[in-house]
Structure 1
Amino acid sequence: MSVKAEWIAVDWGTSHLRVWAMQGQRAVAEARSDKGMGRLARSGFQGALLELVDDWLAEAPIDVIACGMVGARQGWVEAPYAAVPVAPLSGAPIRVPDTDPRLRAYVVPGLKQVKPADVMRGEETQIAGFLALNTDWDGVICLPGTHSKWVHISAGEVVSFQTFMTGEMFDQFSTVSVLRHSVGEGWDEDAFREAVEMTLSRPETMAARLFGIRASDLLEAVEGSVARARLSGLLIGAELAAARSYWLGQQIALIGASGMSAIYAKALELQGVPAIVADGQRMTLAGLNAARKLLEH
């Protein structure tokens, strides 16, 4: 069955490409590939996109609104960062030059913070989507992931933000370090909670606690699910300790994949901090729709 797209939404990260055929604010079809920015030269972006969306195109040009690493210096077109404090969508998306005549492709700019130095690409679109669906919302948005973000929102603007490499650290420790011999599948809720409390109260002990995961396996044959939950808890606890100034006494929203957001929500709950959990894909599409509307002005 052929799909008629009014416009095309694109989330283009370092590792993956996801596209949606859109009718207004509703996705009517979806496709994805592993042709993220990290696997492409600049000349390869259009071809990677057309592989997924060619059947959605007609002769008349269609708007393609993209966010993420597609706007990096190594991406399809560089979309310069806007400096905070600023609205998450600081202006109209950047037009990609010399595209297939069936495409009008645009890329959403990321955000930068000069001091302390920090950047984001893609998360600004999810934040814009959340604010479009939750008007007049002030507080802190946490976006868990490979590089999780804590973002202070006030009066519709990103005031400041901080990035933590927690997800990447978990991946490296569990697949490359000595802990790979101990970390298995599954989950142990008690081990996670205990580990969060350890590093949240004493983050300076994290390096020692991490090796304790391996030692406990060798001496006590701790199950892989316990080791996995303990590793996650130690890393997230240390992140929460460092981000305390963001979440303490604030209204909190979590945007991301449901599983990861649920883990962060549990960690915050241990501190008596409730959090709104918002679906990452829904926020991305709402944000790309908001970016598209900027082209109309």
Structure 2
Amino acid sequence: MTGPVSPAWIAVDWGTSNLRAFAMAADGRVLAEASSDEGMGKLSREGFEPALLRLIGAWLDDRPPVVACGMVGSRQGWCEAPYRAVPCTPLDHAALVKAPTADPRLTVWIAPGLKQAQPADVMRGEETQIAGALRLMPVYDGVICLPGTHSKWVHVSAGEVVSFQTFMTGELFALLSGASVLRHGMQTEGWDDAAFDGAVSDAISRPERIAARLFTIRAEGLIAALAPDAARARLSGLLIGTELAAARPYWLGQRVTLVGAERISAAYARALAAQGVEAKRLSATDCTLAGLSLLAPEKVSDR
């Protein structure tokens, strides 16, 4: 549990694997932050309130409201916050869902995700980052890419999400590098820029050969002493390049902004730069907090 602090409200980003909380001042400053590994995937419905109290209990003397986004609002989460259909604004105060709580100090509001009927797609948590990005970039029309476990390519215009597409690139990387035959050749956290660049170029030019190109990583490790750093970078490049080939209508000739963690955003920026696209980069945390701040407590406390 964190030490005493008196926030005006508390911002919570609750994903599948992790829980992050930020004690917020009325002027938007972060007074304190805390995190745990008690993500949605580890909790039963009855476990969400205790997990949050373990993290922020010391902040609740003045009963500040909590505004949360992410998988906490999924069907398997604390309380389902139904998806809103695009095209729409990323966030809507009227759509917030109040979670059931037992502790009288605790009031929790959950932001819903977004859905798209055709082709079928959904997001949770990214809508808050998109709203934050639009707050940080007023009057932005273009494309926002949110790389990660499930990368999102999002067309935004006039303050609304028009359409989006999800790619399981990050999850595929985790599975292939950790559970497939390729794992034997990449027991490293190292990197090789040249191997990444070549793999991106190869995948964009011939995405239909992805399955065959993946096995060459294993084969070259066995017969040509492919270095683990190069193997890992090549796997990443092949997967990101295949994603870029499929997402071409989103980034070709468009204004592109990347919202994500530093390392993965840098890889996407490098791959896009090779295609002549200079993407702007924003921090995922900065965008999350900017988005949740749009749902500040004065907007929700009297509902």
User: Counterpart in 1 of 2:248?
Assistant: 244
Post-superposition offset of 1:116: 0.4
Q: Which runs of 5+ in 1 are unaligned?
A: none
Q: Return 287-296 or 217-226, whichever deviates more.
A: 287-296
How far apart in 1 are the matches of 2:201 and 2:126? 28
User: Counterpart in 2 of 1:264?
Assistant: 268
Residue type at the aligned position of 1:130: A
User: Counterpart in 2 of 1:233?
Assistant: 237
User: Counterpart in 2 of 1:40?
Assistant: 43
Residue type at the aligned position of 1:251: R
Q: CA RMSD in A?
A: 1.2
Residue type at the aligned position of 2:253: G
Query: Is 1:168 equivalent to 2:171 in the alignment?
Result: yes
Q: Return 238-247 or 86-95, whichever deviates more.
A: 86-95
CA displacement 1:4-52 (0-9 Å, x = unmatched): 2111110000111111111131111111111111111111100000000
- Three-state SS of the structure 1 residue aligned to 2:107 is strand
* Length-normalised TM-score, structure 2: 0.95
Q: Which runs of 4+ in 1 moved over 6 A?
A: none
- Of 128, 132, 138, which residue of structure 1 is paired with 2:131? 128
Whether the 8 Å CA contact 1:82–1:90 is kept in 2: the answer is no
Query: Is 1:153 equivalent to 2:153 in the alignment?
Result: no
How far apart in 2 are the matches of 1:278 and 1:196? 22
User: Counterpart in 2 of 1:202?
Assistant: 206
- Of 118, 143, 146, which residue of structure 2 is paired with 1:143? 146
Post-superposition offset of 1:96: 1.2
User: Counterpart in 2 of 1:69?
Assistant: 71
How far apart in 1 are the matches of 2:248 and 2:162? 16
User: Counterpart in 1 of 2:10?
Assistant: 8
- Three-state SS of the structure 2 residue aligned to 1:273 is coil
- Of 279, 291, 300, which residue of structure 2 is paired with 1:295? 300
Query: Is 1:102 equivalent to 2:113 in the alignment?
Result: no
Whether the 8 Å CA contact 2:93–2:300 is kept in 1: the answer is no
For residues 269-288 of structure 1, the aligned pairs below 5 Å read: 269-288=273-292
Q: Which runs of 5+ in 2 are unaligned?
A: none
Whether the 8 Å CA contact 2:7–2:23 is kept in 1: the answer is yes
- Three-state SS of the structure 2 residue aligned to 1:140 is strand
Residue type at the aligned position of 1:201: S
How far apart in 2 are the matches of 1:47 and 1:231? 40
Residue type at the aligned position of 2:280: I
How far apart in 2 are the matches of 1:69 and 1:9? 14
How far apart in 2 are the matches of 1:4 and 1:295? 19
Residue type at the aligned position of 2:293: N
How far apart in 1 are the matches of 2:172 and 2:128? 25
Query: Is 1:56 equivalent to 2:59 in the alignment?
Result: yes
Distance 1:267 1:253, change over 3 A: same
- Three-state SS of the structure 1 residue aligned to 2:77 is coil
How far apart in 2 are the matches of 1:267 and 1:198? 12
Query: Is 1:217 equivalent to 2:221 in the alignment?
Result: yes
* Length-normalised TM-score, structure 1: 0.97
Whether the 8 Å CA contact 2:10–2:64 is kept in 1: the answer is yes
- Three-state SS of the structure 2 residue aligned to 1:195 is helix
User: Counterpart in 1 of 2:183?
Assistant: 180
Whether the 8 Å CA contact 1:254–1:276 is kept in 2: the answer is yes
For residues 76-115 of structure 1, the aligned pairs below 5 Å read: 76-92=78-94, 93-115=96-118
Q: Percent identity?
A: 60
How far apart in 1 are the matches of 2:101 and 2:180? 45
CA displacement 1:185-235 (0-9 Å, x = unmatched): 311101000000001011001100000000011111111000000000000
Distance 1:286 1:99, change over 3 A: farther
How far apart in 2 are the matches of 1:185 and 1:53? 33
- Of 29, 32, 51, which residue of structure 1 is paired with 2:32? 29
Residue type at the aligned position of 1:225: D
Distance 1:99 1:253, change over 3 A: farther
Post-superposition offset of 1:94: 1.1
How far apart in 1 are the matches of 2:129 and 2:299? 16
